[in-house]
């Protein structure tokens, strides 16, 4: 009934540095209450995360103001990928559930936003975003209840059905959801205060592109702040316990199903917000934008970055956004024609994925964390040897 345990570590007291939890190593930072190391940051979770939030906000402003219009729009793209990927990495990395349906959940957020902004007198933007999140959360809860009973390939299959089926609704309800063409999204104009803020910070023109980039950045920061809170709390720890050892978790009084649904709901909420931001940035909600490719892109992003790590999700999303244009430019420089250069990007992305999986199966963040852990264990062992 208990899973077969590592039989190599016997009573002889040998150490095994090889970790079987390698694939989710990036997720396994101890929760705040259980941290044993010293840190420069305050131990109070709220203060600590607010401080990091402030730093990240400053970095975001500097980044957005020191780059051109085109890069601004790329950063806006990055923000919606990262919001959704952040939610997915919590589901997959911390709780061990896979979802191929997050692209479809993003569609729910995007269409909700589009519909609500279509009105003559649209609601204020934050309210629209909140509604988009809530509606997606509801859909996520329904899927999550089903998902909590499924494992591995079965769960992948069920969420795959969601990814394939849900965008089809747009074709079915053609009148209402715009069919193949999708819905155009009227992004609201920037408030006066935004012009003032940009003028004060950098004197750059406060274009609409810039406003949307800022909007994306704000949503991203808030999402990651909340997700980081969860990950470092008892909630994150309980999710990881459910992921690692079901029977033991259940015997500790944990309701496996409820905690799985909770993870799915949280992750769906993020996908909803990501979809809403996508709709604003792209100014279009159409079925072609939410194919299975989007779900798979999110999944590869979090795998490359390191499952379970928010920073990893950000890295992976950045790769999604910046790698293709980079490779295309490179191809053009090497004398390929436009079509050939454009075809190079998916190829290089695939190669990057394969290389990462071979040399760093825990993803970028996970590999760094594993190194660090091995190094610390070795140091502790040598210190014990000397004593």
Residues found near other proteins in the complex (CB under 8 A): 1-6, 9-21, 24-25, 27-28, 30-34, 36-37, 44-46, 49, 226, 229-230, 233-235, 237-238, 240-241, 243-245, 247-256, 262, 373, 377, 380
Q: Which is nearer to other proteins, 174 or 234 (CB)?
A: 234
Distance CA(244)–CA(173), nearest Å, equals 42
Minimum CB separation of residue 258 from other proteins in Å reads 9
Distance CA(214)–CA(73), nearest Å, equals 10
Q: Contact 283/114 with Cβ under 8 angstroms?
A: no
**Both structure tokens of 326:** 């980079």
What is the signed CA dihedral for 51, 55, 58, 62, rounded to 10 degrees? 180
Residue 140 makes CB contacts below 8 A (sequence gap 6+) with 105, 264, 265, 267, 268, 269, 271, 272
H helices of the chain, in order, are 45-65, 69-89, 102-118, 125-147, 152-165, 168-172, 174-177, 192-201, 208-231, 234-244, 246-251, 256-282, 292-305, 310-333, 338-359, 363-386
Distance CA(378)–CA(160), nearest Å, equals 43
Distance CA(189)–CA(356), nearest Å, equals 41
Minimum CB separation of residue 199 from other proteins in Å reads 33
**Both structure tokens of 158:** 């069920």
Q: Which is nearer to other proteins, 38 or 189 (CB)?
A: 38
Minimum CB separation of residue 222 from other proteins in Å reads 11
Minimum CB separation of residue 178 from other proteins in Å reads 35
Minimum CB separation of residue 369 from other proteins in Å reads 11
Q: Which is nearer to other proteins, 5 or 339 (CB)?
A: 5
Distance CA(112)–CA(85), nearest Å, equals 20
Q: Which is nearer to other proteins, 283 or 373 (CB)?
A: 373
Q: Which is nearer to other proteins, 234 or 371 (CB)?
A: 234
Q: Which is nearer to other proteins, 29 or 63 (CB)?
A: 29
Minimum CB separation of residue 28 from other proteins in Å reads 4
> What is the DSSP code (8-state) at residue 285?
E
Minimum CB separation of residue 130 from other proteins in Å reads 15
Q: Which is nearer to other proteins, 4 or 203 (CB)?
A: 4
Minimum CB separation of residue 221 from other proteins in Å reads 15
For residue 61, which of 191, 196, 192, 197 has the smallest C-alpha distance? 197
Minimum CB separation of residue 26 from other proteins in Å reads 10
Q: Which is nearer to other proteins, 29 or 348 (CB)?
A: 29
Minimum CB separation of residue 35 from other proteins in Å reads 8
Q: Which is nearer to other proteins, 74 or 233 (CB)?
A: 233
Contacts 24+ apart (CB under 8 A), 195-201: 198/65, 201/61, 201/65
**Both structure tokens of 225:** 């702040």
Distance CA(183)–CA(22), nearest Å, equals 43
Q: Which is nearer to other proteins, 31 or 291 (CB)?
A: 31
Residue whose structure tokens are 């004593």:
387
First to last CA, the chain: 41
Handedness of CA 356, 357, 358, 362 (dihedral sign): positive
Distance CA(360)–CA(371), nearest Å, equals 11
């Amino acid at each position: 009934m208990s899973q077969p345990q590592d039989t190599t570590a016997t009573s002889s007291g040998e150490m095994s540095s090889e970790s079987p939890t390698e694939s989710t190593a990036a997720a396994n930072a101890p929760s705040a209450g259980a941290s044993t190391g010293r840190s420069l940051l305050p131990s109070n979770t709220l203060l600590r995360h607010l401080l990091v939030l402030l730093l990240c906000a400053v970095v975001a402003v500097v980044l957005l103001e020191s780059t051109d219009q085109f890069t601004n729009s790329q950063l806006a793209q990055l923000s919606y990928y990262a919001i959704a990927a952040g939610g997915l990495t919590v589901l997959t990395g911390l709780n061990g559930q896979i979802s191929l349906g997050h692209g479809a959940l993003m569609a729910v957020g995007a269409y909700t936003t589009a519909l609500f902004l279509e009105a003559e007198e649209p609601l204020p933007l934050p309210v629209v975003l909140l509604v988009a999140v809530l509606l997606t959360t509801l859909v996520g809860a329904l899927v999550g209840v089903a998902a909590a009973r499924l494992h591995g390939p079965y769960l992948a299959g069920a969420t795959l059905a969601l990814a394939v089926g849900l965008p089809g609704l747009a074709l079915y309800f053609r009148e209402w959801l715009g069919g193949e063409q999708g819905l155009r999204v009227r992004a609201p104009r920037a408030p006066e205060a935004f012009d003032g803020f940009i003028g004060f910070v950098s004197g750059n023109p406060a274009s609409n592109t810039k406003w949307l980039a800022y909007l994306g950045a704000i949503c991203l920061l808030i999402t990651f702040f909340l997700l980081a809170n969860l990950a470092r709390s008892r909630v994150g720890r309980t999710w990881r316990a459910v992921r690692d050892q079901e029977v033991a978790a259940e015997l500790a009084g944990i309701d496996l199903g409820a905690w799985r649904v909770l993870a799915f709901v949280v992750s769906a909420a993020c996908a909803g917000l990501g979809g809403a931001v996508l709709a604003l940035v792209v100014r279009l909600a159409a079925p072609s934008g939410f194919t299975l490719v989007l779900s798979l892109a999110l999944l590869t992003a979090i795998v490359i970055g390191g499952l379970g790590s928010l920073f990893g999700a950000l890295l992976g999303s950045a790769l999604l956004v910046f790698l293709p244009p980079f490779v295309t430019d490179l191809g053009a420089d090497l004398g390929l024609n436009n079509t050939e250069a454009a075809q190079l990007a998916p190829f290089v992305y695939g190669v990057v994925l394969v290389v990462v999986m071979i040399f760093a199966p825990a993803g970028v963040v996970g590999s760094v964390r594993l190194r660090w852990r091995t190094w610390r264990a070795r140091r502790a062992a040598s210190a014990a040897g000397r004593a």
